[in-house]
Amino acid sequence: MNAFLPVSKEDMLDRDWYWYDFLVITGDAYVDHPTFGPAIISRLLEKEGYRVAVLAQPDWRDPSSFTALGRPRLGVMLSAGNLDSMVAHYTVAKRRRQDDAYSPGNRPGLRPDRATIVYANRVREVFGDIPLIIGGLEASLRRYAHYDYWEDKVRRSVLVDSQADLLVYGMGERATKEIAAKLAAKVPVGEITDVKGTCFLADRPDACRYPSVEVPSYEEVSSDKKAYALANKVEYEEHDPIRGRAIVQRHERRWVIANPPAMPLDTAELDEVAELPYVREPHPMYDEMGGVPAIEEVRFSVAHNRGCFGACNFCSLAFHQGRMLTSRSHESVIREVKLLTQHPGFKGYIHDVGGPTANFRHLSCAQQKEHGLCKNRACLAPKSCPNLDADHTDYLKLLRELRAIPGIKKIFIRSGIRFDYMMQDKSGEFFAELVKYHISGQLKVAPEHCVNSVLDYMGKPHIEVYEKFRDKYQRLNQKYGKEQYLVPYLMSSHPGCTLEDAVQLAEWLNKGGRQPEQVQDFYPTPGTLSTCMYYTGIDPRTMKEVYVPTDPHEKAMQRALMQWKRPEKRPLVLEALRRTGREDLIGYGKECLLRPGPGQRPPEGKDYHKPQEKNKGKSGKPKLKQAGLRVEHNASNPKRKAGWAKPKPKKNAKPKRDKR
């Protein structure tokens, strides 16, 4: 049976350890599972022959909590956890979250804001000049001077503020192994400046050992939004492991030097990392605290790929994992699923076989192997590239093999699926089997909006692609006798989205007969192209101005328009319709969003259709058609499901006779 890595001196003594090599600090609870970055790094170091101890969620207010396991021999590896700590702590409205799925018992407040900086400064305080390497999503996205939504200003690179020696960006396995080997060989950490996928500080820009490009300095991007947009554009263009150059950015009297990205792991390396001896559970020290909720979503799930060439502008994946896709072998995934069937809590259901995008298994085109991804265009949006290889054959074969494993009842796919990629697959075989075998009642996809100009700013396909997908999905469900629903993810207030665009989205939803339960307001996370648009009002791809909804009241109206049926949203929806001159959507027609209020009349000259008397019941209220009534899920009544409502049978009703 696999054992957890030491988390205390007692654990080390049980192993007869009186010293150890690396301390891995994480802002998450200690969950030894391959979907947790610190678990991967610690197990990888262990496999390389190093002694590793884990310090999870240390009390940053108490310096002694960082010395509880003693001083490591070679260095400290530090991560804020699976999420940026500010995203983990605050909603898009900048309200403090009341829970934290990555902490024991779902408790908030067990890690600090800006955890990478706070933890690193404590390490410097207690261990002095020990080699300190920061990594994880928070460090990766903040490696350059970046706009910080919570402070509403540009902050310096996290490498500067943390006082770390090195910053590892991206997934980090290659860089971690190379850094550890150099430290073990007694190379001073200040001389480790050639590792791809890392950043370091230098006194001169020519300290960079690779072909490089300099972007506007921290001082420039802090004061000039055009300079910020130019820097962001270059940072995105060079984030490619084949053609990418190093990036140099001055911060006061020093330079942050980001070496070119590391190559992604190949299939054999990815298999090896996925099958390290993880316990695959939270540490038992959390049992009395209620466990760690984040494990529930991934305990019986399998990640089969990495990277995403979908490249949505608001998504941080392209800037962290990168756009080049790699995938695990069938044999490795099959071994993992067989392992899961032996878990005492397994009930026959694999919750997901996915990744950043579930239905990607190979590079988007053959040219990427030699030339990398295209600098000035995306693979899928606004239209699919003619060179796109939209082939699901390998993924389909993998799913069929998994379904045949003894003990498997159902294999679900719950990761994001790119519907535009599916629609480019002419065979349609995967689409058919997805509907037949792999949906757990609802399929969630992300059209995000319906106005094509807004979708262009998002980096998403035009709405016609989604509508064709939706229609085909409905036909396939009818063909196979399935009662499965499509849940579209939608976003309000993205840069480029005006109040008029938000009204169009509400009309589109109304025409389709659905109203989303949950609405996502655009969240400006560090480093993304969309965040650059939000801060600068400039699209960095074109350097042209873009409208940005930043007023909280307008954002509230955009959000309310997507849930126009809710009574508490009525004042905001009414104001939005009046501001945009769309009072024609106030009335009794099926195209209308709001009914006139008490004592109100629709404006003269408008053709509003009142309910017909013959459609009224005894109460005087309009009857609802029973066949084909669209019923939205009601949070206050969980028994009502989204779908087509069936007519209720009348009491004591006799069955109709066949008149034939």
Q: Cα dist. 17→51, 69, 72, 186, 281 in Å?
A: 9, 11, 12, 21, 24
Same CATH topology for 9-201 and 300-492?
no
Q: For residue 588, is pLDDT > 70?
A: yes
Mean pLDDT, residues 128-155: 97
Residue 610 has pLDDT above 90, yes or no: no
How large is the average pLDDT for residues 379-385? 91
Residue 536, pLDDT above cutoff 60: yes
Backbone phi, then psi, for 10, in 5-degree steps? -60, -40
pLDDT at 658: 41
Q: For the domain with range 300-492, which CATH number is right: 3.40.50, 3.80.30, 3.30.70, 3.90.320? A: 3.80.30
pLDDT of amino acid 655: 43
| pLDDT per residue as tens digits for the range 419-470 | 999 999 999 999 999 999 999 999 999 999 999 999 999 999 999 999 999 9
Contact between 136 and 203 (Cβ < 8 Å): no
Per-residue pLDDT at 601: 62
pLDDT at position 2, please? 81
Here the tokens at position 487 are 């849940």
Rounded to the nearest angstrom, the gap between the alpha carbon of residue 341 and the centroid of all alpha carbons in its chain is 28
Burial 223-254 (b: 16+ CB within 10 A, else e): eebebbbbbbbbbbbbbbbeebbbbbbbbeeb
Q: What is the mean pLDDT of residues 495-514?
A: 95
Q: What is the mean pLDDT of the chain?
A: 90
- List, for residues 562-587, the tens digit of each pLDDT value: 999 999 999 999 999 999 999 999 99
Examine the pLDDT at 390 and tell me if it is beyond 50.
yes
Helices and strands (DSSP H and E) totals, the chain: 23, 24
Tell which residue, 265, 360, 263, 323, has the closest CA to residue 529: 323
The pLDDT score that the predictor gives to residue 145 is 98
Q: Is the pLDDT of residue 506 over 70?
A: yes
Strands (E), 280-327: 301-303, 305-306, 326-327
Phi and psi at residue 212, in whole multiples of 5°? Answer: -135, 165
- Domain segments of the chain as ranges: 9-201, 300-492, 495-600
Banded model confidence at residue 603, pLDDT cuts 50, 70, 90: low
Q: How far apart are CA 299 and CA 33, in angstroms?
A: 8
pLDDT of residue 647: 43
Q: What is the pLDDT of residue 518?
A: 76
b vs e for 571-595, b when ≥16 Cβ sit within 10 Å of the residue's Cβ? Answer: ebbbbbbeebebebbbbeeeebbbe
pLDDT tier, 396 (very low <50, low <70, confident <90, very high otherwise): very high
Closest CA to 398 of 365, 353, 428, 443: 353
- Name residues whose C-beta falls within 8 Å of residue 265's C-beta, 6 or more positions apart in sequence: 171, 173, 174, 273, 306, 326
**pLDDT of 154 over the 70 cut:** yes
pLDDT tens-digit map of 78-134: 999 999 999 999 999 999 999 999 999 999 999 999 999 999 999 999 999 999 999
Q: Give the pLDDT confidence score for residue 604 in this predicted structure.
A: 56
pLDDT attached to residue 94:
94
Q: Indicate if the pLDDT at residue 135 is higher than 80.
A: yes
- Report residue 637's pLDDT band, with 50, 70 and 90 as the boundaries: very low
Phi then psi for residue 376, to 5 deg, are: -115, 15
| pLDDT (mean) for 289-315 | 94
- Degrees to nearest 5, angle at CA 139 with 444 and 30: 70
Find the angle CA(387)-CA(392)-CA(394) to the nearest 5 degrees.
115
Q: From CA 137, how far away is CA 27, in angstroms rounded?
A: 11
d(CA 573, CA 561): 6
Class of domain 9-201: alpha beta
